[in-house]
Amino acid sequence: MTADRDPGLQPERTRLAWRRTTLTATVVALLAGRQALHSGATPAALVAVALSALAWLGFLLVAHRRVSVLGVARPEQFAPRGALTAALCTVALAVFAAAMLF
């Protein structure tokens, strides 16, 4: 016999954490674009900005899907594919931002 689990405010806290993380990714992508514009619009910088935008959009898609799922009392578990996508987009944003500095 399994007892019903009361999730309490855990789904709400997780949803808020996803929103904060999405906001952080947005700021990183915007700062990358700003850095590219201030350092001169070289082809390499424009490619890095475009790749940063793609990584940001990928993360935004994963986050939106996850936040939507967390709107119920008993949300589904986060799929490994979604977690891998979010992690890869985060690492890609960091790499592209670092590439623009050099």
* pLDDT, tens only, 55-97: 999 999 999 998 888 877 777 888 899 999 999 998 998 888 7
Helices (H), the chain: 10-38, 43-69, 80-101
Within 10 A of 4 (CB to CB), how many other CB atoms are there?
Answer: 5
On whether the CB atoms of residues 55 and 89 are closer than 8 A, the answer is yes
Kindly report the length of the chain.
102
Q: Which two tokens stand for residue 65?
A: 């899907």
* Single pTM value for the model: 0.78
Burial, 29: exposed, middle or buried (Cβ in 10 Å; 0-12, 13-18, 19+)?
Answer: buried
